[in-house]
A and B are shown apart, each in its own frame.
Chain A
């Protein structure tokens, strides 16, 4: 307890919560060229599997 308290005073970095919500952009790595390449296939997918869309 005492040791932990001493460490907290000396070596810890304090982090405060941001006031804005943290938004994690999961799709950021998806490249536009890939999307364009897949565009025709996803359109055909709707025609082939209309019940799930």
Chain B
């Protein structure tokens, strides 16, 4: 783990990342490592309804991970929807719009037709109602 720290581009980038992390951590920095890895590997994707889905066959560990996060998301959506006088489905769907737009290259997301897509460089395919 411990390496000699030369003054290099990588070193500067790492130092900047630490500095940024102290002020405003990006969303991915807060993710559970197993979840982050599954997202990057395209085993887990963002669905149009605001919840996570297992892409392909999956396995029990992956399904448990997705179920746990979706239970937390549902509780969060329920609370936020109530504060906004919206239904849980409306809130969750809107969250899905934004989560899909924020997927990064290589991550999976669900297109309006229900198919899994891999996010590329361009804009993702989203529901026509998405902001």
Contact = CB atoms under 8 A, between A and B. Distances in A.
Q: Is the pairing of A and B real?
A: yes
Contacts of A36: 131
Interface stretch (B3-11, B92-100, B117-125): B92-100
Contacts of B97: 35, 39, 42
What band does the interface of chain B fall in when counting residues whose beta carbon is under 8 Å from A? Answer: 20 to 34
B89 A27 contact: yes
Contacts of B32: 51
B69 interface: yes
Contacts of B86: 34, 37-38
Contacts of B69: 52
A49 B76 contact: yes
Given A42-B95, A45-B95, A49-B76, A32 B129 contact: yes
Interface string A23-47: 1001100111011111101110111
A52 B52 CA distance: 10
A50 interface: yes
13 contacts: A26-B49, A30-B129, A35-B129, A38-B84, A39-B94, A42-B95, A42-B97, A45-B80, A50-B29, A52-B69, A52-B72, A52-B76, A53-B99
